[in-house]
A = this chain, B = another copy of it.
Amino acid sequence: MSASPAFDEAFAARLDELLAWRRDVRRFRPEPLPEALVAHLLHLTDLSPSVGHSQPWRWVRVSDAEQRQAVRESFARCNAEALGDYEGEQAALYARLKLEGLREAPEQFAVFCDHATEQGHGLGRRSMPEMLDYSVVAAITQFWLAARARGVGVGWVSILEPEAVSAALGTPPEWKLIAWLCVGYPQEEHADPELVRHGWEVGRGRPSP
């Protein structure tokens, strides 16, 4: 048995605040993050829970202008299709904010799940193979919170074609895209979700849940 740290009530209360302020960020200031901070945040992801201790996350830091452009083009294609499903200004506004994140975020990461990893030897995912992907989502969630605790915002973009992202980056075919993350210092901060603030549910003619 090891001695474990006690987390006091003050810390727990601050953690609750962090969870409330974790919100998805779309508008970023242009300055880059300190290199040591990026390294530290990525180091922390190795502490995330993973099925069978498989640690299947693969983080690709994307700085190349052409690669980023290819991803924005994929977003534009997906978004044009998606907008056909919606009406009104809210949808257009939301799409514009997302695109701004892809244009402006100083740091951008593609996060993959390595389906070819042998680490963990398949333990815990025979009856639920999707556990491998879930392990990557847990790592992204922890990255997000650790970043926010240092004033760094994260925006998760999913209006993308995974195969287009993989092609642009040249990643192995066994790597499944889980997320595209826009990362940087936020221009503004809110405790309420952007979609609630902009009336996404109400704007669709339904009461807000």
Name A's B-contacting residues (CB within 8 A): 1-2, 4-7, 11-12, 14-24, 44, 47-49, 51-53, 55, 78, 81-82, 85-86, 94, 118-128, 130-131, 133-134, 137-138, 140-142, 144-146, 148-151, 156, 158-162, 177-179, 188-191, 193, 195-196, 200-201, 204, 206, 209
Q: Evaluate contact between B146 and A145: CB separation under 8 angstroms.
A: no
List 17 extra interface pairs beyond A2-B189, A16-B44, CB under 8 A: A1-B188, A1-B189, A2-B191, A5-B14, A5-B17, A6-B151, A12-B149, A52-B200, A53-B193, A82-B123, A85-B126, A94-B123, A118-B206, A127-B162, A131-B158, A134-B137, A137-B141
Query: Which residue in B145, B162, B193 is a CB contact (below 8 Å) of A15?
Result: B145
Q: Evaluate contact between B18 and A44: CB separation under 8 angstroms.
A: no
Rounded to whole angstroms, the CA-CA distance of A140 and B24 in the bound complex is 17
Query: Which residue in B11, B78, B141, B145 is a CB contact (below 8 Å) of A126?
Result: B78
Chain B residue nearest in CB terms to A12: B149
Shortest beta-carbon distance, A176 to chain B, in Å?
Answer: 9
Shortest beta-carbon distance, A194 to chain B, in Å?
Answer: 8
